[in-house]
Structure 1
Amino acid sequence: MGQSEVLNSRQLGASLSRPTVSSHLAFTLLSVVALMVMFSLLRLALFIYNRELIGSTPAATFVEAFITGMRFDIRMVVYLIAPLVFAVVSVRAMSWRGVWRAWLTATASLTMFLGVLEMDFYREFHQRLNSLVFQYMSEDPRTVMSMIWYGYPVVRYLLAWAVATWMLYLLFKGIDRATRPSANGPTAAAWYVRVAVLLVVVVACVLAARGTLRQGPPLRWGDAFTTDSMFANHLGLNGSLSLIKAAESRFSEDRDNIWKATLPVEQARDTVRQMLVMPDDKLVDADEAAVRRDYTPPANGTLPVKNVVVILMESFAGHYVGALGAPGNITPYFDKLSKEGLLFTQYFSNGTHTHQGMFATMACFPNLPGFEYLMQTPEGGHKFSGLPQLLSARQFEDVYVYNGDFAWDNQSGFFANQGMTTFIGRNDFVNPVFSDPTWGVSDQDMFARGNEELDKLHATGKPFYALLQTLSNHVPYALPKDLPVQPVTGYGSLDEHLTAMRYSDWSLGQFFEKAKKSPYYKDTIFVVVGDHGFGTPEQLTEMDLFRFNVPLLIIAPGIQDKFGATRDTVGTQIDIVPTIMGRLGGVARHQCWGRDLLNLPEGDKGFGMIKPSGSGQDVALVYGNRILIKQKEGDVRVYDYKLGKDFGVTRIENTPEQSEMKARLESFIQTATKSLLDNTTGVVDSKPQNK
């Protein structure tokens, strides 16, 4: 080591032994600037990566979003620099520059990693990081890692993250060198001066983290919703903060994300009964159960069927279905089938995750705040009054055919507890046409096996019901090498997704071609429905309606003669079970949170309560062509909407229906939540009795 290097080393050591408040604050302030720039760059990357969502939104709107985003970023930065702020009271702590560099580099690197992860997360879900991250982490790690490895450029992202981390290290090292006090500078201030400085800095940090000088609550999620562009509003949030908030809700013992009661119990229950109990219903156990009733459908509404087949199509978004007005010929087989049955044109999933589609469709229970992953919670062990209970009581045989592993989402545990007995999953297929390492066999394999299983059930001579669930239209979209359909082009980043959707549609068509040749076909009601939609470049309201809009097609002998070819009645997946029971006929005691859509009073527009995946409490009530959205934080908003080819939304201010719709939404969620917690959701009362 040369003489000059020795001198520099000694000077550096001397400076470390004489830290000052001013040098420490300079180091902290420059680090704040660096972190703020990093978060803005992450927001810019998210904006560029998802630029297809810009649409016709003016640039000024996104400028506003970036400015709003800085308010959320500063809160996150305050959390990151908190240890440095409190270090000002200790001369020794201020001298730990190596520790502070490591802390800043590590935390900034972690948030950088989350920012890289969020680019594809937002493209897929149109949401900032939320509890879905923890949901996937809690599932089978092997499947999750396989999905990520085959679905995204993992190596490229990791390399970019490593380079960014190295650059962050160099940046904080440079800030460290630039703010070190000189060896001959003043000594550290007295303790009482340092305490006074700490108090001033803490007050400044609290004001910055609060994000607003208004009275009342600090900066809230809803404060980012300042524009008419959902993409811009979401850009205004901070993904790391959103994830922290989701973690607080998910792992809180108080289950803070469960809906809090806002109405008297009796008032909410009576409102729900007005919403759900129809003229042909008779309430039973009214003191214990909210909406348990005996349903006797009119004889002229039944159909000559004895078997039921429900087909749950993965990510079958109504926005891209030709029969609902979409161009591109993405779903030619479904479009052809729709001419043979009854198609609902304003239909919605109850959630945006397959998990919610399964229990809403088969157990006719809504997707509630705090119970988005109901099948994996203790309450998921309760008895519901869905298709398994109602048809098992009538001695129906059953089968559930699925491409993948039934351990995912606790499907086998949940549905076995509800009454299903036969499960055909990925390990039960012999010599499939295609099997990917993530999810399992292809949709054409699943449907081919479905045909075989239905023929076997018919051979028993007993009535049966079946659930057939597709999976190929899911990341990583692993499809057979030699596709039986033409790949979709012209949709940018959605080309691969829509190609998988076209392949699933083809597989559905092959299933029906074979089913029509089977003797059971003429005695069966088929229900084809999407489990949820997916993100599109066009977003309708902050609820992103296209992620909920799915087709519902009912095919059965004589259905068009009695009910026509299309219906614009609003409905959701929880209406499927009572609609099926209405076609089978006979008295059905149930406690479904939906209604028979083919036996509604004259002029009834239909309604549906929807909620996205994640831990947020933002919910909506769709009523006819109007939707009321109640955000977790923020004002209630009402829109008129239109789906199909000429889609669009119009904000409605001060509508007289708003208070009534809000009361219905709150009553519905409050009463359903209470019923779930009280374990009174089944056909019979399961509530523990007082001894």
Structure 2
Amino acid sequence: MPPVDNRLGKPAIGLAQHLTFTLGSALLLMLLYSLLRLALLAYNSEQIGDTPVATLAEAFGNGLRFDLRLVVYACVPLLLALLWRPAMNARGLFRAWLTLFASVTLFLGLLELDFYREFHQRLNGLVFQYVKEDPKTVMSMLWYGFPVLRYLLAWLLATLLLAWLFKRLDLATRPRPPRALSLAPATRRSPWYAHLAVFVACLLVAVLAARGTLRQGPPLRWGDAFTTESMFANQLGLNGTLTLIGAAKSQLSDHRDNAWKSTLPDDEARRVVREMLLGADDRLVDADSAVVRRDYTPPAERTLPVRHVVVILMESFAGHYVGALGAPGNITPNFDALAKEGVLFERFFSNGTHTHQGMFATMACFPNLPSFEYLMQMPEGGHKFSGLPQLLSARGFEDRYVYNGDFAWDNQAGFFGNQGMTTFIGRGDYVDPVFSDPTWGVSDQDMFDRGAQELAALDPEKPFYALLQTLSNHTPYALPEQLPVDPVTGFGSLDQHLTAMRYSDWALGRFFEKARQSPYFKDTLFVVVGDHGFGSNEQLTEMDLFRFNVPLLLIGPGIQEKFGARRDTVGTQVDIVPTIMGRLGGETRHQCWGRDLLNLPEGDPGTGVIKPSGSDQTVAIVSGERILVQPRDMPAKVYDYRLGAKPSSRHVENAPDEASLKRRLDAFLKSATESLLDNTAGVVDAKP
């Protein structure tokens, strides 16, 4: 009869039964992760577009390798049990561990359904960023923005099912007890050296499976999932739990260790960046200590008769859905009308894909860099930059920052207060708002009404600048029950998002109606820009340009007569401050990592460096109709792209300008990173 575990009074588990249970558990987990990938595909089916079935099948094939790595992690305790015979009998502990592992990864898979729909990325550092923020706000956002109870119920039921399946597998792989006592000698147990040999063999298989590849060099990397021209299929091939583990490693390490690593010599990098950013009207200063600190004096004929500046940062104001940029659906009729009064930039991009980056890039004119995506919350965020607060405070401008929500979020009050802003009007300063969302705060209508009130109360003869920041176009959307606009239909899962965008546009139009009645209006430069875009049903290039493309609109006295109505110059948010200072005129000393977009040399196509938020280290440089995308530790890709009514992109093999674009991108990131780390990014060098 089979060997008996004397302590349990049950037949002891043999090598064959243990290996069968391990293999069965691994197959069950592999099935679970394939089903989660199928669920992600179905939930985000609008992303499929014209992707061939064969491409999606390739994504599932790639996914098996990533899933197998995760399964190896789950099976480590079972493999270690091979070294000690009594440990193989601890089936109850193994079932509990496997159920827990499967349940946690299942929870992450359910979370990823909406995470991918929102960010077009698998789980990454954004998860930790939200967790570090105000827990009450984050929980409120999840509760009101997503079907939490439905997901929790599905997770609980699926966990119970998994526990039952592991138990059935346990029972099916146990030795059967004898039907009657027998005087026959007991089956001999496997000797220790058999266990050791099997363990070594299983270890080799596990290592090979975890590596995911037979090639020499590095093991399986995220780039190994990027084997198709479909960005959705490539992302589908990844495993969200593994991408989250990778992000956790980055979070736990010193963030400076994850900064951009360049191969360019310092002198060459500085020279290249200065060629990129310095123009005929710039005079370089402090060249030994600062990279691009300069005195800028725009020609008098390119200035405007303006005294005040109002920057309006629109939440998720994606250029892909702006009518003035060619989008259908009449989502932004008020912005479209305003665009006829000013200069509209058609190829403008956010520096990141999170409001955090939009704020510091727009107002502090510092770029979004690898490892410093959440600059305002990092020690380096305490440095002095040369943004709008510094430059205009030095000229005696009064300031206002009007916002729907809490300034503690993203450390806005701390960061901008340190940069020189003094007056903040936030969530707690509104009296009897039209609508107050339990998560974020008051509606855009309330914010703009308060903004108009604050600006009208200022002395129009004294210069001021203001930042008005919207929030309603963010999950869960802070919209009044009785909407002043018709809900958007016909865009599938984006209908609610676009309805919120239409509402924000309505509130923007209402603000301008009030502003026109105030005496300051005729002397004001208005800057309307999106903080970032959001995903569409298709992805434009590997960088997903729809998440970066935002409109930039400048409205001011005589601006169209001097500069025309439209510009196709490439620009990003770090170009906004130099462009504002160029319209105000006079000499300005700054170290912005952008240029005055209305004072570029003839024929200059413009240049911008962009990077997504989260732990993704992919970066890109855009110049004219060309973009080079550089993933970390992977070959770069060059695309031709087109925005507007008929967006498109085309991968360009062996592009003649690839080497030049890579060199400029490398130099920009290296120089900006070193400037930040050396604390020399401001108007003057920091004191030691």
Partner residue of 1:152 out of 117, 130, 146: 146
Is 1:527 paired with 2:527?
yes
Q: Of 126, 136, 142, which aligns to 1:132?
A: 126
Aligned: 1:32 with 2:33: no
What amino acid maps onto 1:241 in structure 2? L
Alignment of 1:309-458 (within 5 A): 309-458=310-459
8 Å Cα contact 1:534/1:546 also seen in 2: yes
Report Cα offsets for 1:238-261 as digits up to 9, x if no partner: 000000000001111364421112
8 Å Cα contact 2:5/2:11 also seen in 1: no
Q: Please, which runs of 5 or more residues in structure 1 have no aligned partner?
A: 1-9
Contact 1:124–1:534 (Cα < 8 Å) also in 2 = yes
1:42 maps to what in 2?
36
Deviation at 1:265, TM superposition (A): 1.1
Q: Is the alpha carbon distance of 1:638 and 1:182 closer, same or farther for their aligned partners in structure 2, counting shifts above 3 Å?
A: same
Within 5 Å, which residues of 2 pair with 1:156-167?
156-167=150-161
- Structure 2 letter corresponding to 1:176: D
Match of 1:616 in 2: 616
Measured at CA, do residues 16 and 198 of structure 1 come closer, stay the same or move farther in structure 2, by a change above 3 Å? farther
Q: Report the 3-state secondary structure (helix = DSSP H, G, I; strand = E; otherwise coil) of the residue aligned with 2:554.
A: strand
Distance in 1 (alpha carbons) for counterparts of 2:10 and 2:73: 25
- Asked if 2 retains the 8 angstrom alpha-carbon contact of 1:14 and 1:183, the reply is no
How many corresponding residue pairs? Answer: 679
**Distance in 1, Cα, partners of 2:313 & 2:350:** 11
| Pair 624,15 (structure 1): closer, same or farther in 2 beyond 3 Å | farther
Question: Given the superposition, is the C-alpha separation of residues 70 and 12 from structure 1 closer, same or farther in structure 2, using an over 3 Å criterion?
Answer: farther
Query: Shift in Å at residue 458 of structure 1?
Result: 2.7
Secondary structure, aligned partner of 1:74:
helix
Give, in angstroms, the shift of residue 87 of structure 1. 1.1
CA shift, 1:634, in A, is: 2.1
Question: Which secondary structure does the structure 1 equivalent of 2:385 belong to?
Answer: coil
1:238 and 2:232 are equivalent in the alignment: no
Query: Pairwise mapping of residues 616-655 of structure 1 onto structure 2 (< 5 A)?
Result: 616-655=616-655
Deviations along 1:387-444, whole A, 9 cap, x unmatched? Answer: 0000000000000000000000000000000000000000000010000100000000
Quote how far apart the aligned CAs of 1:192 are.
1.9
Residues 260, 172 of structure 1: CA spacing in aligned structure 2 closer, same or farther, 3 A cutoff?
same
Q: Distance in 1 between matches of 2:632 and 2:428?
A: 42
Say whether the 8 Å CA contact 2:297–2:587 is kept in structure 1.
yes
- Native 8 Å contact 1:622 1:628 kept in 2: yes
Higher mean Cα deviation, 20-29 or 283-292?
Answer: 20-29
Task: Identify the residue that residue 553 of structure 1 maps to in structure 2.
Answer: 553
- The answer as to whether partners of 1:308 and 1:465 remain within 8 angstroms in 2 is yes
Q: 1:272 to 1:26 in 2, by over 3 A?
A: same
1:570 is matched by which residue type in structure 2?
V
Q: Which moved more, 1:221-230 or 1:563-572?
A: 221-230
Where does structure 1 differ by over 2 angstroms across 4 or more consecutive aligned residues? 10-17, 181-188, 253-257
Task: State the shift of 1:364 in Å.
Answer: 0.2
Report if aligned partners of 2:386, 2:681 keep a CA contact under 8 Å in 1: yes
1:612-660 CA-to-partner distances (Å, cap 9, x unmatched) read 0111210000010000000124211000000011110011011110001
1 CA distance for matches of 2:584 and 2:423?
Answer: 22
Q: Distance in 2 between matches of 1:111 and 1:349?
A: 33
Cα distance in 2, alignment partners of residues 167 and 603 from structure 1: 64
User: Quick check: 1:15–1:181 contact (8 Å CA) kept in 2?
Assistant: no
Mapped partners of 1:74, 1:687: distance in 2:
53
Q: Which among 176, 179, 201 is matched to residue 170 of structure 2?
A: 176
Shift of 1:489: 0.3
Q: 1:197 to 1:463 in 2, by over 3 A?
A: same
Q: Work out whether residues 15 and 180 of structure 1, in 8 Å CA contact, stay in contact via their aligned partners in 2.
A: no
Task: Report SS of the residue matched to 2:258.
Answer: coil
TM-score by length of 1: 0.97
Contact 1:12 1:183 in 2 (8 A): no
For the residue of structure 2 that corresponds to 1:431, the secondary structure is coil
Report 1:528-677 matches (<5 A). Answer: 528-677=528-677
Q: Which runs of 5+ in 2 are unaligned?
A: 179-185
Instruction: Return the letter of the residue paired with 1:317.
Output: A
Other structure's SS at 1:228 match: coil
- For normalisation by structure 2, the TM-score amounts to 0.97
Offset, 1:24: 1.0
Decide whether aligned partners of structure 1 residues 457 and 16 sit closer, same or farther in structure 2, where only a CA change above 3 A counts: farther
Bigger drift between 625-634 and 638-647 goes to: 625-634
Q: Deviations over 1:36-66 (max 9, x none)?
A: 0000000000000000001011111100000
How far apart, in 1, do the equivalents of 2:536 and 2:311 lie? 26
Task: Report the CA distance between 1:17 and its aligned residue.
Answer: 5.5
Residue 266 of structure 1 deviates from its aligned partner by 1.1
Q: Determine helix, strand or coil for the equivalent of 1:345.
A: strand
> Aligned equivalents of 1:83 and 1:188: distance in 2?
21
Identity %: 70
Shift of 1:687: 5.2
2:183 counterpart residue number: none
| Counterparts of 1:23 and 1:657, CA distance in 2 | 61
Local SS of the residue matching 2:526? strand
SS of aligned partner of 1:651: strand
- Alpha-carbon distance between aligned partners in 1 of 2:613 and 2:189, rounded to the nearest angstrom: 52
CA shift, 1:104, in A, is 0.2
| Residue equivalent to 2:493 | 493
Contact kept, 8 Å, 1:620 with 1:627, in 2: the verdict is yes
**Structure 1 residues 187 and 542: CA distance shift in structure 2, 3 A:** farther
Secondary structure (helix, strand or coil) at the match of 1:128 reads coil
In structure 2, the partner of 1:6 is: none
- 8 Å Cα contact 2:539-2:545 kept in structure 1: yes
Deviations 1:91-139 (CA, angstroms, capped at 9, x unpaired) = 1211110000000000100000000000000000000000000000000
Contact 2:11 2:176 in 1 (8 A): no
* Cα root mean square deviation, aligned: 1.4
2:488 is matched by which residue type in structure 1?
Answer: V
> Which of residues 40, 44, 51 is equivalent to 2:45?
51
Q: Distance in 2 between matches of 1:112 and 1:152?
A: 17
